[in-house]
Amino acid sequence: MSTETLIRSCAPTMARLKTGNMFTCGFESKEQMNRELRQLNQRLRQKGLRILPLRWRDGRGLLYLYRPKRLERDLRDPLAQNLLRECGYPSCDANCCLARLMARLRREDDFPHEVGLFLGYPPKDVDGFMHRKEHYKACGLWKVYDDVEGAVRKFERCRHCTEVYLRCYAQGVSLERLAVAE
């Protein structure tokens, strides 16, 4: 996996603007993917970042770069906890939730609706997507059902962040320097 692909897909998480990002990436084998992710985790661990393979299919890995401490905080939100329980998550512990999400992703073709909780989307918007799909007020990185102005500002910050990170990387700034510490 190229560093540019990681930055293009995950700059907002690297900059602490989001809890996590998911993206797909091709690899020669599952073993190569796991080897590269182990090396990447060693490089980014001190920044409070972790990357996991959520699913492997047809030579492509669905990868999740996230901030574990932030995910724990996000999943403690009362609405997030209710949504997770509604979707059959036995616990709101972040590691248990990740294991359940991975199991669902591996056996289902579609993304579970609660995936937004793992990406840092507002729980009210995840709830709206799950229960009132057609009634969203705006669309960007996610469908917005509640705070349109706040979401539009966040969409713009994430877009700008990705542009700046790609420009800095092209100028020789390392991945470790781009990743903001927790």
pLDDT digits (tens, 9 = 90+) for 140-165: 999 999 999 999 999 999 999 999 99
pLDDT digits (tens, 9 = 90+) for 50-94: 999 999 999 999 999 999 999 999 999 999 999 999 999 988 899
- What's residue 134's pLDDT? 86
pLDDT digits (tens, 9 = 90+) for 34-56: 999 999 999 999 999 999 999 99
* Single pTM value for the model: 0.94
Alpha helix (H) ranges present in the chain? 3-14, 30-44, 68-75, 78-86, 94-107, 116-119, 123-131, 148-170, 175-178
